[in-house]
Amino acid sequence: MNKILKEKLSEALSSVLPITLIVLVLSATVAPMPVGTLALFLTGAVMLIAGMALFSLGTDVSMTPMGEGIGAQLPKTKNLGVVIGLTLLIGVLITIAEPDLQVLAGQVPSIPNAVLIWTVAGGVGLFFVLAMLRTLFRIRLSLLLFVFYIGVFTLSAFVPNEFVSVAFDSGGVTTGPITVPFIMSLGIGLASIRGDRDAQDDSFGLVALCSIGPILAVLLLGIFFRGGNPSYTRVTVPDIQDTRQVAQIFLHGLPEYIREVCSALLPIIVFCAVFQLVFRRFHRLQMEKIGVGFGYTFIGLALFLTGVNVGFMPAGHFLGRQLALSGHSWILLPLGMLIGYFLVTVEPAVHVLNRQVEAITKGSVSQRAMMLSLSIGVACSVGLAMLRVLTGISIYWLLIPGYTLALLLTLFVPRMFTGIGFDSGGVASGPMTTTFLLPFSMGACEALGGNVLTDAFGVVAMVAMTPLLTIQALGVLYKRKQRRAETAEMAVGAGEDEIIVLEEGVPHE
């Protein structure tokens, strides 16, 4: 276990170090940062490294095997009503547990937190049921994506503009560090009981559908909710005098996030315990290992959330504001892309997805190729988000062409890459996006005098969109590589046949 933990720490360090260096260079050059804010950021970076390592280790030994076990066991009940009911319950519980959703709900105070959270949870629960039924009954994912995204954009035409960005952001934040490991492993478990040749392809796509439910739910909320126009909570950058204050701020924040993680994980742990009592899926040693894994997950997530919320959020807001006021606001575009390129590597759920993709494809799609595709996609999305901040163009001008192209690509790429691509969009838009990129956009938008709700909100939606394109582009390359390999294999086979024929024609002495 110590060796694995060292590997996880090394992986976390290599993920966090680039974005830390970028912020340090910016703070020393174009965006001088108060020493107190910088101290918060650096302390947060250390907590991120420790939190990511422990969380990654914990999900490997707890969330993943438990999710796969539940996914494989549910259809064996042979009662579709029970399966649907349990799937709906799981979807609602893990969504309420998602820390990213709490962050977003807190930044849109004109909609009561409970209303927004339960609306989003209901959307995820219903679409989780749909995703489960799709896997069991072998419904083509691209067909459902076409139908529901057409429905999303049609419905959004009847919703106030302030709700549209929040709705698309909701679809991104619900698939974070709690949701993704559990949903993806459950999908693998569901697909494992089928045993047909398409089962591997259909093990992906659950996250993709679960990202659509919240968008539709919040759009409907925008039509029927009469609580006034949405507003947002400004990010405050604390005025810090010395290092003791830095320690006090983190010590004050840590218990809050420990309570948040407790309330997030407890329903899942209770559900898993009841599942084990009823079905006896795991033996005693497995349950002990899973219990230890939940402990690692708890500590890691508490450290991670404290680091990003207390350390990264004020730094992101301050950097965005200073760069916008630097007199060269265009610099937001290239610097935003650079930050986005490296920031996605810090998302905990991204590493979970990449490991599972490499394992299921038996190395055909490597973690490195996945990470490069995601980094390029997120860099482009942050660049587009900064373009919106600078120009105020409607999010529709980017989302409609982007999703249209992503849906058209589903007709040309292997089925597996459709699932991976649309899953990647939800995975990439995790806590780092909501606690660094969103405040970064808000700070820049406030400094430029723009409308934060229409111009800054939506960055999560942009981050969730572009990986759909880059991962499916990777699928096109994979398909070509596969065809070339098959052609070469056929040529070698034909050559061997020719040699055999020639040998048979040689007379024996």
Structure tokens at 116: 């927004």
Structure tokens at 162: 């302030």
- Count Cβ atoms below 10 Å from residue 254 Cβ, excluding itself: 17
The three-state secondary structure class of 227 is coil
The total number of residues written for the chain in this structure: 509
The three-state secondary structure class of 30 is coil
Give pLDDT, residue 504: 58
Instruction: From 43, 119, 125, 55, select the one nearest 84 (Cα to Cα).
Output: 125
Cα 187 to Cα 191, 367, 451, 472, distances in angstroms: 6, 19, 40, 20
CB 112 within 8 Å of CB 226:
no
Q: What single DSSP character describes residue 77? A: G
Give pLDDT, residue 509: 47
pTM: 0.81
Q: Measured between alpha carbons, how far is 50 from 308 in angstroms, rounded to an integer?
A: 12
Average pLDDT of each block of 10 consecutive residues along the chain (509 residues)? 83 89 92 91 93 88 86 81 87 80 72 84 93 86 93 90 81 77 80 69 83 91 71 74 88 90 84 87 90 92 89 92 90 94 87 83 84 93 94 90 93 88 84 85 92 85 90 88 80 65 54
Q: Quick one: CA torsion of 192, 193, 195, 201, rounded to 10 degrees? A: -40
Task: Indicate the burial class of 487 (C-beta count within 10 angstroms; 0-12, 13-18, 19 or more).
Answer: exposed
Give pLDDT, residue 496: 62
Give pLDDT, residue 171: 83
Domain map of the chain by residue range?
18-481
- Scan for tokens 């606001």, then name that residue: 329
Q: What single DSSP character describes residue 230? A: -
Give pLDDT, residue 383: 95
Q: Measured between alpha carbons, how far is 245 from 261 in angstroms, rounded to an integer?
A: 24
Instruction: Name, in order, each residue with C-beta under 8 angstroms of 340's C-beta and a sequence gap of 6 or more.
Output: 375, 378, 379, 380, 381, 382, 383, 437, 463
- Scan for tokens 């965005």, then name that residue: 320
Q: Measured between alpha carbons, how far is 59 from 240 in angstroms, rounded to an integer?
A: 36
Structure tokens at 500: 């055999």
Give pLDDT, residue 197: 65
Give pLDDT, residue 506: 53
Structure tokens at 410: 């589903």
Query: Which amino acid, 185?
Result: S
Cα 440 to Cα 239, 254, 322, 389, 467, distances in angstroms: 18, 23, 10, 11, 20
